[in-house]
Homo-oligomer: A and B are copies of this chain.
Amino acid sequence: MLPAQKIKAGSVGSVETRYLDLPEPVRLDCGRDLHPVRVAYETYGTLSPARDNVILVCHALSGDAHAAGIAKTPPAESTRDGFGAQDRDGTTAKGLGWWDGMIGPGKAFDTDRFFVVATNLLGGCRGTTGPSSPDPATGRPYGSDFPVVTVADMVRTERAFLDALGIERLAAVAGGSLGGMQALEWAVLFPDQVDSVVVIASTHALAPQGVAWNAIAREAIMRDPDWQGGHYYGTGRAPDAGMGVARMVGHITYLSAPALDEKFSRRLQFADDIRFTIAEPEFEVENYLRHQAASFVKRFDANTYLYTSRALSYFDLAREHGGGSLERALDGVMARTLLIAFSSDWLYPPAAHEEIEVALRNLGKPVEYHLIDAPYGHDCFLLEEARQTPVIRRFLASTPE
């Protein structure tokens, strides 16, 4: 599991995504059994003989199993544009994992000590079974016949995957955004199998504004005639236009207004005056959005976007597990919880983290909450590695090994 070659200090080195077929069907919240289910995964570090040093890292909406190191087979399409880290929730063009700054020897998730496992989530398009996988009933890709999955379904799939790997307990489950939702769901669904959870820039239930942004992104995809009711595979057409708009919406919600000011101001692309054009981008921020949209559609599947966006909108610990009460939902949690929020994150704002903290504290559960004052919005969870690292390392240091 150790890297064959040290690329640089702190890197897990060269890695390759592997695949595992689950032996049993996954029972889903919607009532359906899903089978077969393949899980794409990577591991970094060494599994201890006692198998008690495992950290599961869960990715966000558009991520994948390549969380750290350099991919032996870099992705065909560039996802890196030099503008910032907005594509780092997916493998970068240079083949660097999306959380490479956080996972490795001496890093936040220290592979000298921990065996870090990253999977592509259920419904994904980067190796794990999802809407683009073949439906055994027809032999053709599921498309919109893929069952509507929940965050709990993703977690049950991860549980089954770890079972197949012979891993029973987790020293920690960690993730940002949708990844943090999975971490929380783990602590609730499998309380006696999780020592600690690290929840970053996440929530117990997305606020209505976030629900709305996600709905708008999905509408943009589904209103694209090339979506074809979800059965676009093999037709030579895909809803790239709509998914581009969806990605643009995402990008602006991931950044703060001051970050956009600093990054783009109102700078025009050409010369120093306007060109009186409707169709062409004029401002640098307009060009940036088009560029982001164009690169994203090359690497990501629109149906996976729809399903994942739906799952994170549905996610609501209080509704799912507490009859409307967050405290009741968290009542069975046995893990220690670390919550990290960023002051400028308006999509996953600090308030929701505070609600989780208060609920856990009221229940007498061990919880730590850190609010990091940083300007980049939701993207901070990918950008502010240096400031998260000591907090996470200190928190994990007291985890029994």
Which residues of A does B touch, CB under 8 Å? 29-30, 144, 147-148, 205-209, 211-213, 215-216, 218-220, 222-225, 230, 241-242, 244-245, 248-249, 252, 257, 260-261, 263-266, 273-274, 276-279, 281-283, 285-286, 289-290, 293, 306-307, 310, 313-314, 316, 319, 346, 349
User: A233 CB to closest chain B CB, in angstroms?
Assistant: 16
Contact B260 A209 (CB under 8 A): yes
Contact A207 B261 (CB under 8 A): yes
Residue of B whose beta carbon sits closest to that of A272: B319
Contact A266 B209 (CB under 8 A): no
Residue of B whose beta carbon sits closest to that of A31: B276
Contact A212 B245 (CB under 8 A): no
Contact A278 B257 (CB under 8 A): no
What are the residues of chain B within 8 A of A206 when measuring CB–CB? 266
Contact B212 A285 (CB under 8 A): yes
Contact A283 B313 (CB under 8 A): yes
Tell me, in angstroms, the Cα distance from A18 to B54 when the chains sit together. Answer: 74
Contact B278 A148 (CB under 8 A): yes
Contact B208 A265 (CB under 8 A): yes
* Contact partner, A278, options B260, B283, B307, Cβ 8 Å: B307
What are the residues of chain B within 8 A of A286 when measuring CB–CB? 211-212, 215
Contact A212 B276 (CB under 8 A): no
User: A159 CB to closest chain B CB, in angstroms?
Assistant: 20
Protomer copies: 2
Tell me, in angstroms, the Cα distance from A282 to B310 when the chains sit together. Answer: 10
Residue of B whose beta carbon sits closest to that of A223: B241
* Contact status of A244 and B219, CB under 8 A, knowing A209-B257, A249-B249, A285-B211: yes
Residue of B whose beta carbon sits closest to that of A147: B276
Contact B245 A215 (CB under 8 A): no
Tell me, in angstroms, the Cα distance from A276 to B273 when the chains sit together. Answer: 50
What are the residues of chain B within 8 A of A283 when measuring CB–CB? 208, 211, 215, 313
Contact A264 B216 (CB under 8 A): no
Contact A260 B225 (CB under 8 A): no
Tell me, in angstroms, the Cα distance from A307 to B277 when the chains sit together. Answer: 9
Residue of B whose beta carbon sits closest to that of A265: B208
Contact B242 A278 (CB under 8 A): no
Contact B313 A215 (CB under 8 A): no
* Contact partner, A216, options B148, B252, B263, Cβ 8 Å: B252
What are the residues of chain B within 8 A of A282 when measuring CB–CB? 313-314
Contact A209 B148 (CB under 8 A): no
Tell me, in angstroms, the Cα distance from A144 to B276 when the chains sit together. Answer: 12
Contact A279 B207 (CB under 8 A): no
Contact A30 B219 (CB under 8 A): no
Tell me, in angstroms, the Cα distance from A216 to B245 when the chains sit together. Answer: 6
Residue of B whose beta carbon sits closest to that of A239: B223
Residue of B whose beta carbon sits closest to that of A241: B223
Tell me, in angstroms, the Cα distance from A286 to B218 when the chains sit together. Answer: 11
What are the residues of chain B within 8 A of A29 when measuring CB–CB? 276
What are the residues of chain B within 8 A of A245 when measuring CB–CB? 216, 219-220, 223, 245
What are the residues of chain B within 8 A of A279 when measuring CB–CB? 144, 222
* Contact status of A260 and B144, CB under 8 A, knowing A225-B225, A248-B219, A276-B30: no
Residue of B whose beta carbon sits closest to that of A146: B278
What are the residues of chain B within 8 A of A209 when measuring CB–CB? 252, 257, 260-261
List 23 interface pairs A-B (beta carbons < 8 Å), by A numbering. Answer: A144-B278, A207-B261, A208-B257, A208-B261, A209-B257, A211-B283, A212-B252, A212-B260, A212-B286, A215-B283, A215-B286, A215-B289, A216-B245, A216-B248, A216-B252, A219-B248, A219-B290, A223-B242, A223-B245, A249-B249, A273-B319, A278-B306, A282-B314
Contact A260 B207 (CB under 8 A): yes
